[in-house]
Every structure is written in structure tokens, then in C-alpha cells.
Amino acid sequence: MKQRAFTSVLRRRAVPAALGACAVLGLIAVGAAPASAAPLHCKPTIVLEHGAWANGSSWDGVALVLKSQGYKVDIAPNGLRGLSEDTAQLRAYLANVNGPVVLVGHSYGGAVISDAATGNSNVRALVFDDAYIPDEGEAIATLAGPDSALASAATDPTSVFRLAPYAGAPAGIYDTYLLPSVVATDFAPDLPKIEQAYLAKTQAPASLLALGEPSSAPAWRSVPSWDVVGMQDKIIPPAAQLSMAARAGSHVTEINSSHVSLLSHPVQVASVILKAVHATD
């Protein structure tokens, strides 16, 4: 009976799809027509974007914490093909997410979320996790600085990467895989060895374009942001992260973590995301 009643109300009101699920529930609750419906508070959807040499499963621990608090969590795709292509992919993904969004990016994913959120009024907050936060015209390869474990790739990519050709790549462009030794000593040194080996085996390759393409106009200029900085990060050293965070005006939380804080400290990372969520209420 309740289901039939809900269906009947929706048919009578002819609620526009653009109002989204929260507005539909609000109309049912207050019994008002769309034009006079009172605004209803909606929890944001938390959208997580992974970084290079990773996949969506890297967010599993963080997502579990967020879901336990009653939030809808989406793990967005990231093709790792290049900043312009990956940004377009995320922008298209976000176009199908109704209501407010808190957008979270790890590592290279930080550059992707900042570019993709520009002009999207649904994005209420950005959260960077051991991430690049480029300004317009900057490529991430220039942001980590000479102390990064990846710095030697500028002159000898094979010192840190295994290079592999891929279909459709421009001349001189390859996919990059972190060497297992780099995963163990620099990328994820605070994980157990068995997890390091698993990461090395399951990493998603990142095109050299992802490292070298310049950023477009960043959303952090107009959207409030939070930043988790791993103080033992050897991929994006803390000094570089803190400098980018200061420029972006981010609320910074420092934790004793490697570059993969989302794996080694998921509860702490989730707590920062929840701070951003609560700030949008």
C-alpha cells in the first residue's frame, strides 16, 4: 500500500527528473508542488578518484568507513591516459551524479579532480590525499621537486619505471609501471611486504602524458579544499605538498604516512573527508 501511495503521489506531481532524488522525497514529505517545495537537506555523494599506478580498490578501506557513516560513496574511473582525457572522463561521470558532491583525489587524482570540478556547482568541497594540486599551466612532473623518489625519471625513466608501448600512443609516449623496488621503498614502505608485492603486480599503468600534460583552470580557486599530507611521503615530499596546499588555501592535516595513506591510514583519511563533508552542511 505504501509503495502504491508513493507512486500515485509522484505521478500526480509530475516531478521533473532534474530535481533529483532529494527533491522528490522533499515533495512527498511536505506535500507541495515543485514550484513551492521547501528545500530539503541532502547528504552529499562522496566521489573518490584514484591516482597513478593504482586502481579503484585502493579506496576500499576509506569507502568502508564513509559508508558506515551513512554516506553514498562512488569510486570514479581514471584511465590514467593524460590529464585532459582523464579530466573529461571524470567531468562526464560527475554530470550523472545528482545533488551535492564532495570530490576526493589521491596523488595524480588530485590534479584530475581539481580540473574536472571547475564550473561544476554541485562540487561543494575538494579533498586532496597525498596529492598534486597544480595551478593552471603546471604539469605534475614539475611539482614534486628534486627530493622526490621519481625525480631521476626526468633524465632516465627506466630508473623508476618499466616502460611499455600502448595502442594509439603518440610518438615517444609509453605506459609507465613502477618498479617493484620503488613500490617497496618509496611508494608504499609502510605496508606489509605482501601488500607491497600485490600493489606492484596489480598497478594500473599511467601514460607519460599523465605526468607531462599541463593543468587547466583549477577548481581550488573557488571551491574550499582539505588536504591530507603524509609526512613520510617519498613520491610527493611533504614540503612540496604543504607548498601546494598553502597556495590552494587548503585545510591541512598532517599524518605519519607514506604516499599511500588511503591504504595505510584509511580511518584518518576518512576523518578528513568527513570534516569536508560536515563543512558543506
Residue 42 has what pLDDT? 85
Mean predicted confidence (pLDDT) in 62-91: 97
Per-residue model confidence as pLDDT tens digits over 1-33: 434 443 333 333 333 333 344 543 333 333 444
Q: Which residues contact 92 (CB under 8 A, 6 or more apart)?
A: none
| Residues 243 and 172 occupy one common structural domain | yes
| Residues 120 and 80 occupy one common structural domain | yes
Global confidence as pTM: 0.87
At 219 the three-state DSSP class reads helix
| Residues 15 and 146 occupy one common structural domain | no
Per-residue model confidence as pLDDT tens digits over 175-224: 999 999 999 999 999 999 999 999 999 999 999 999 999 999 999 999 99
Q: Which residue has the cell 593504482?
A: 54
Per-residue model confidence as pLDDT tens digits over 213-258: 999 999 999 999 999 999 999 999 999 999 999 999 999 999 999 9
Q: Which residues contact 99 (CB under 8 A, 6 or more apart)?
A: 20, 21, 22, 42, 44, 45, 122
Domain span including residue 11: 2-36
Cell output for 66: 564513509
Domain count, the chain: 2
| Residues 190 and 73 occupy one common structural domain | yes
Backbone angles phi, psi at 13, to 5 degrees: -80, -25
| Residues 31 and 141 occupy one common structural domain | no
| Residues 164 and 269 occupy one common structural domain | yes
| Residues 130 and 229 occupy one common structural domain | yes
